């Protein structure tokens, strides 16, 4: 499965909830900053705000970075260039 990264034209893999984080009950929100360059490449992916301080929260952060790195540009027109943020909410239902 896949999902769209906002209205950006990028299609990404589904978020992966690390098993250790799930077992520990780690939840939160990771904010990732990334840059879109020509020809629709995502670079400079970093955690801007962590989901939390524990080892398990850092697993969530790394998963959010991998998620954004997995995105591929699929729209027909040129991408919007610049630096953007993405928030991944982690919750156990």
Tens digit of pLDDT for each residue in 14-72?
A: 999 999 999 999 999 999 999 999 889 999 999 999 999 999 999 999 999 999 999 99
Report the largest interatomic distance among the alpha carbons of the chain, rounded to a whole angstrom.
43
What are the structural domains, with CATH classification, of the chain?
2-90 (3.30.2420.10)
Helix, strand, or coil (residue 60): helix
- Cβ atoms within 10 Å of 58's Cβ, excluding its own: 18
- Cβ atoms within 10 Å, residue 6: 10
Please report which confidence band the pLDDT of residue 76 belongs to, taking 50, 70 and 90 as the band edges: confident
Chain-centre distance for alpha carbon 32: 6
């Amino acid at each position: 499965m896949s999902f769209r990264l906002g209205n950006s034209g990028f299609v990404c893999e589904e978020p992966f909830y690390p098993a250790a984080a799930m077992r520990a009950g780690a939840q939160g929100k990771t904010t990732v900053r990334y840059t879109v360059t020509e020809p629709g490449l995502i670079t400079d992916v970093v955690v801007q705000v962590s989901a939390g301080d524990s080892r398990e929260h850092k697993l969530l952060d790394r998963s959010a970075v991998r998620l954004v790195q997995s995105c591929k540009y699929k729209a027909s027109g040129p991408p919007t260039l610049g630096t953007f943020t993405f928030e991944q909410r982690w919750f156990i239902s």
